Amino acid sequence: MLRIWKNELYDGFNCITSACPSNCCDEDWCISVDQKTYEALSELMGDINDKISSERPHTLIKKDHKCPFITDDGLCSIHADYGEEFLSNTCRSYPRFVSGYGDVYTMTIGLSCPEVARMIVSTDRIIRFTSEVLYESKNEKGKKLPKLESEVVMERTLSLFNKDRSALESFSCLGEEYIGFHDGIINSNIDEIMLKLRDIASEIGAVEQYDTLKLGNMHISMDDIKRVDVELKKHYPFLAQNICRCYLFERIMYNENVVNKDYADTFKKAEIYLLLFYCVLISNGIVAEFESDVVTDLLYRTMRLIDHNENIIELLSE
Ligand code: SF4
């Protein structure tokens, strides 16, 4: 018996391939290639060790930051020449993510993909996370799968991030439920956070992304953050809530895999996550003019800075 939790946008995602403004194959990310795919490709193509490292774990050897299998048209030559079944697990699944917690599985999609960001920006309601129980044998019918602690916290938390509140108001409600939480990030000095972010970006080699998001010379006050929270909700009533819901859904469930579950820490990180997006909006000067293509562009690029440099949120949280 399994329970599957799914982001409702999961099934509707389709990669836009050569129409993508920032193909994930052009990014300097470390892409692992599973053993089965490595062997299958070696058999088909002969010596591929200049494109995929021979030592385990196998990884793509990027050329000028690009995947060695990408064509001039931005298409995948493995997909075109041999078919989808020869793609590595990572390439086949991105930006979809599946995680398992015993008998409970979550299926979601990452906002660092421009097409996912476009879907989130254009969604005109709160995104739902649906759950479904799958029975593996007839004997299981009618039995109940008890809820994990993280599932209970996740459902309760997501119910606070609803259409009636702005995202910052939802964090305040969360603060009331988890005493002491709001002594943290929301009352902090934003300038200090941005300075720290600069240090972290340079430490992890993400300065280029940091600079293109114009995060360099920022003087942002808490009032600016509150203003953008209100303005964004006027133009995109569900966007900030949906960004938080996607993050919280995934990250609260991760607690299930750790011994000392620290939900308050997860909430703080979610707030930093949102705060960084607000800072990017402010630093790009679009508090009043929220065109959807610009918001989409800034959203996926902010998420690339964060999602593919996992340490950023961890270090800022410290
Ligand atoms: S970033 Fe998203 S839309 Fe673009 S090529 Fe990758 S999966 Fe497709």
Could you report the per-residue pLDDT of 9-62, keeping only the tens digit for each? 999 999 998 889 988 888 877 888 999 999 999 999 999 999 999 998 899 998
What is the whole-number distance in angstroms between the Cα of residue 282 and the centre of ligand 1? 26
Q: Is residue 287 situated within a structural domain?
A: yes
Q: Is residue 221 situated within a structural domain?
A: yes
Q: Is residue 128 situated within a structural domain?
A: no
Characterize the bridge pairing of strands 2-7 and 129-134.
antiparallel
Provide mean pLDDT across the span 161-188.
Answer: 76
Q: Is the CB of 75 under 6 A from ligand 1?
A: no
Determine what percent of the chain is predicted with pLDDT higher than 90: 49
pLDDT confidence tier of residue 259, bands split at 50, 70 and 90: confident
Nearest to 127 by CA among 273, 248, 212, 278: 248
Query: Cα 86 to chain center, whole Å?
Result: 26
Which of 10-24, 189-203, 245-259, 288-302 bottoms out in mean pLDDT, i.e. has the lowest?
Answer: 189-203
Ligand 1, atom 7, lies closest to the CA of 15
Q: Is residue 39 situated within a structural domain?
A: no
Provide mean pLDDT across the span 146-173.
Answer: 92
pLDDT confidence tier of residue 157, bands split at 50, 70 and 90: very high
Q: Is residue 82 situated within a structural domain?
A: no
Residue 171 corresponds to which amino acid? F
Please report the pLDDT score of residue 174 as a whole number. Answer: 86
Q: Is the CB of 109 under 6 A from ligand 1?
A: no
> How many separate helices (H) and strands (E) can be counted in the chain?
13, 6
- Which is higher by pLDDT, 8 or 17? 8
C-alpha to C-alpha distance for 42 and 52, rounded to whole angstroms: 10
Contact 58, 32 (CB under 8 A): yes
Q: Is residue 142 situated within a structural domain?
A: no
The predicted-structure confidence for 101-143, as pLDDT tens digits, reads as follows 999 999 999 999 999 999 999 999 999 999 999 888 888 777 8
Q: Is residue 189 situated within a structural domain?
A: yes
pLDDT confidence tier of residue 63, bands split at 50, 70 and 90: confident
The tally of domains found in the chain comes to 1
- Torsional sign, CA 27, 28, 33, 39: positive
User: Is cis: bond before 68, omega within 30 of 0?
Assistant: no
Structural domain for 199, as ranges: 148-317
Q: Is the CB of 95 under 6 A from ligand 1?
A: yes
C-alpha to C-alpha distance for 49 and 53, rounded to whole angstroms: 5
What is the whole-number distance in angstroms between the Cα of residue 114 and the centre of ligand 1? 7
What is the whole-number distance in angstroms between the Cα of residue 15 and the centre of ligand 1? 5
Q: Is the CB of 16 under 6 A from ligand 1?
A: yes
Instruction: Report the alpha-carbon angle 15-120-296, nearest 5.
Output: 80
What is the whole-number distance in angstroms between the Cα of residue 12 and the centre of ligand 1? 14
Spell out where 16-103 has E strands: 32-33, 58-59, 96-101
Residue 202 corresponds to which amino acid? S
- Of ligand 1's listed atoms, the one at least distance from the Cα of 116 is 2
- Which is higher by pLDDT, 258 or 3? 3
Q: Tell the residue number behind the tokens 């129409």, with chain if given.
A: 19
- Burial call 181-200: b when 16+ CB within 10 Å, e when fewer: bbebbbeeebeebbeebeeb
Ligand 1, atom 2, lies closest to the CA of 113
pLDDT above 60 for 266: yes
Q: Is residue 161 situated within a structural domain?
A: yes
Ligand 1, atom 3, lies closest to the CA of 15
Q: Is the CB of 15 under 6 A from ligand 1?
A: yes
Q: Is the CB of 24 under 6 A from ligand 1?
A: yes
Length of the chain (residues) = 318
